Structure 1
C-alpha cells in the first residue's frame, strides 16, 4: 500500500479517520473471508414501538452493510447481485418484499428538539433502492440502494463495532437470535461482556411487539431459550442471563457473553460449514452416530504421527510460508507474526507466548490437524477466553 493510500485516498475523505468502525470494515473487506463489521450505533439503534424487521429483512440489511464495507458512511449508491440474496431460491419475489420492508421500518433514538428539549427522533435506514426489471424470464440482476443521511451519520459516528460472521448471520432461524447475536458481538469487542437491560429496553432492542409474549415465561421459552440455543451453536461466544425480579415480576435481565474456548471454536467452524438442514437435530443431540467396523489405530501411534507432522510444519521457514498453516512451536514473535498479532489484539495485554503455551497444552495432539481459518479462529477464541477468565494483567 502506497503512502497516498495510508492517507485514506483524498483530503475530502479525511473525516473517515475518526470512524474506527469504518477503518476496520475496510480492512476486513480487503482481507476477504466471512467476517464483517456492523457499526455499534446501528447495533444499538432501537425499533419504534410496535415495529421490527423479519428475519429475512434483517439478513438483507446485514448483507447490505457487508457489501458497503468501509464505504457505508459515504453518500453513494451500493450494489449487490440478487443471486447473493436468494441463497438457492429460484424467484426474486421475496427480494421485493424485503426491500419494501426495509423502506417502511422505522427506528428511534433519543435526541433534542429545536427548543433543546428531550425528544425521540424516528427515521428509516434505506433512502432509495433500485431493482433491475427482469426481461424474458431471466433471473439474473442487481439491486442498488442508498442509506439515509441518518443511517450514514450513525455509521460515521461509530467508534465501536461488532465483528460478525456472514455464515452465522445467514444460519440463524430466529430474528431475535440474530439481534441478540449482534448485541453480544458488540459487547465482546468492547471487552464489556455484560448487558444489563430492563424489559422495555429488551423489547425495543430485539423488536419484540409490546403485546407479544406478555407472560415472561412465554418470552423466555419462545425468545431467550431459542436465541441461546442458536447462538451457542453458531456464534464465537455463548450467552447466559440472570433474571432480576420485583416480587414475582421480572423487571430486568443481565446478559453475559463469554468467548468460546479453542475446542468449542473448532466445533462452531465445523458446524457453519455443514448443511443447515440437520442443524437443529445436531444441536439437540438427536443425530444417530454410525459405527463403522474396521481396524483401529492405537492412540499412542496417532499421537506420534501428529506430533511428527506438527514438528515438520513448524520448522524454521526457508521459503515463503502460508499464513496460519501451522501453529509455531517456539516464540510467536519469530516465524509466527500473524499469530502474535492476534494474541496482542485479543489477549488483553497478557504475554502472548504465555497464552500460546497454555493453548498448546489445552489442544494437545489436536493442534497438528488445524490450519487456515480453523486454526486462526481457534487461536483467537482461546486468546479472548484467556483474557475473559483472567481480566487485565
Structure 2
C-alpha cells in the first residue's frame, strides 16, 4: 500500500516548508511496491525502485517522445498508453490542473528518453492553466502525494500495480513573489520504467488539451487520442473501471443513469467539440443484467473533412460561450463566418499539425464555394504552418504534380490567401505551394 498522505487544501499556507525544500519519497513500513519490467510484467518487492532491471533497450514510446519533443516542443505531448489507462489509487483523484501539468511533465521527461534525473519545466508552459505561482506548486504537490494504479500481466495473471509518480520536487519559500522560478521535479524509477518500456502511446495536442475544462473530458480525450486511428478503435469497459478511468469521485453517481448524464455525456460532448475524433457510447452495445448496465462500449471515429473544419473553427473561437454553444448543439457546427475577427495579444503560438490539417479542411470547404476546381484542391496536402521572414505566417501545401502547384500559384493564390486570412483572423495570410518530387 502507498504511504499515508495528508490532504492539503489550496488555501493552506506554504510557509511551513523550508527554503527550496526538496521533498523525497521514503517508503513507509509495509510499502512493498511494484515496478514494471521491460516485458510489461510486474516485479514485486521493489520498494523505491532500486531493483529495477538493467536498461539494455527502450520501447517505441520513448523514441517517439524524444523525436516529437525535438520537432514540436510542447505542441504535441506523448504519453504511454499504460499511463493513459491508469487511475489514482485509494479512491483519490487528481484535479484538472494537476492532470494537465502531469502530461507536460511526462512529455518533458520523454525528451530525455525518460532518464532518471531532476527535470526543469518552464512555468510559461503551464501558465495558461495556473494564474498564480502558489497554484502551480499546489498542483505539483498534489501529483507528488498521489499514486497511480496500473493494470497488467504478472506471471500469467492480471495484476494491479500501484506506482508513486514523483520521488521529489522543489518548492521555493518565496514562490508567490518570484515569477522566474521554474518547476523542478524528479519521477520515481518505477514510473519512468513504465514510460520507458512502453510500446504504445497517445499523441496529445497541447493546444487542444489545455482547452478541456473537466477531468472527465480530459481522460476521455487521452483515451480517444490513443485509440481513434487504430484498426479497431472501440473500447469495452465495465462500469467500475470506467468510473476509475474517468476520475469519478469514489461513491459519487452510483446510479448509471446519473453517472451518464453528470459525467459521461458531458465529457463526450466537450471532447466531440474539440478533438479530431468523435466518441459515442451506443445503446445497442451496452451489456445488461436485468435492468442494470454492466458494460459499455466507447467507439472512437476520426472526423470527416467537414467535421474537422468545424472543430478548427471552434478552437479559434473565444472560450467564452463555448459551453453554451455545446449545450445548444452548436459547438461542433459553427458557421464559417463565425471565426473571431481580432487576434489576442500576444499572438498565439503556431498551430499544431492537427490544427493545420483542420485549417486546410476548412479552407477547402470555403474554396469549393468560390469555384476553385475540386481536383486541384484534392491534389494539395498539408506540409505545415511556418513563420516567414517578415514575421507573418504561411500555410505550406504539397502538390501531387508540378502542374497543380503552378496552376494554384498563378490562378488561385489570391483567393486562398483571402480565405486563410478570414478563417484565422489574419493570423495566417500567405500560402506556399511545393511540388512533390517525381520518380522517388
Is TM more than 0.5 here? yes
Partner of 1:221: 261
Q: Distance in 2 between matches of 1:136 and 1:156?
A: 35
Q: Distance in 2 between matches of 1:286 and 1:230?
A: 12
Q: 8 Å contact 2:367–2:416 — kept in the other structure?
A: no
Answer 1 or 2: which has greater helix percent.
1
Q: Distance in 1 between matches of 2:264 and 2:176?
A: 46
Instruction: Give the counterpart of 1:188 among 214, 228, 240.
Output: 228
Instruction: Give the counterpart of 1:303 among 370, 377, 393.
Output: 370
Q: Distance in 2 between matches of 1:261 and 1:116?
A: 41
Deviation at 1:240, TM superposition (A): 0.4
The one-character-per-residue Cα deviations of 1:58-92 (angstroms, maximum 9, x if unpaired) are 11111212333332521112111223323175421
The one-character-per-residue Cα deviations of 1:328-349 (angstroms, maximum 9, x if unpaired) are 25499x98xxxxxxxxxxxxxx
C-alpha spacing 1:48/1:17, structure 2 compared with 1 (3 Å): same
Instruction: Give the counterpart of 1:253 among 276, 296, 300.
Output: 296
* Runs (4+) off by over 6 Å: 115-118, 286-291, 299-302, 365-368
Q: Distance in 1 between matches of 2:79 and 2:175?
A: 35
Partner of 1:61: 102
In the alignment, does 2:310 pair up with 1:267?
A: yes
C-alpha spacing 1:30/1:119, structure 2 compared with 1 (3 Å): closer
- Between 280-289 and 176-185, the greater mean CA deviation after superposition: 280-289
SS state at 2:280 partner: strand
Partner of 1:86: 127
Partner of 2:161: 121
C-alpha spacing 1:40/1:331, structure 2 compared with 1 (3 Å): farther
Per the normalisation by structure 1, the TM-score is 0.69
- Aligned CA RMSD, in angstroms, stands at 4.1
Task: Identify unmatched segments of 5+ residues in structure 2.
Answer: 1-53, 339-365, 381-387, 389-393, 406-414, 429-440
C-alpha spacing 1:255/1:279, structure 2 compared with 1 (3 Å): same
SS state at 2:399 partner: coil
SS state at 1:203 partner: helix
In the alignment, does 2:203 pair up with 1:163?
A: yes
Q: Distance in 1 between matches of 2:213 and 2:252?
A: 19
Deviation at 1:38, TM superposition (A): 0.9
Q: Distance in 1 between matches of 2:367 and 2:303?
A: 28
Q: Distance in 2 between matches of 1:235 and 1:69?
A: 23
The one-character-per-residue Cα deviations of 1:220-245 (angstroms, maximum 9, x if unpaired) are 01111111111101111010013321
SS state at 1:227 partner: helix
In the alignment, does 2:287 pair up with 1:244?
A: yes
Instruction: Give the counterpart of 1:325 among 391, 396, 405.
Output: 396
Q: 8 Å contact 1:184–1:257 — kept in the other structure?
A: yes
Q: Distance in 2 between matches of 1:139 and 1:274?
A: 30
Partner of 2:189: 149
Deviation at 1:130, TM superposition (A): 1.2
Per the normalisation by structure 2, the TM-score is 0.62
Deviation at 1:116, TM superposition (A): 10
Partner of 2:385: none
Deviation at 1:216, TM superposition (A): 0.8
C-alpha spacing 1:95/1:173, structure 2 compared with 1 (3 Å): same
SS state at 1:30 partner: helix
The one-character-per-residue Cα deviations of 1:126-184 (angstroms, maximum 9, x if unpaired) are 11111344379332221111111111111012101011111221111110111111111
Partner of 1:40: 81
Q: 8 Å contact 2:149–2:163 — kept in the other structure?
A: yes
C-alpha spacing 1:78/1:270, structure 2 compared with 1 (3 Å): farther
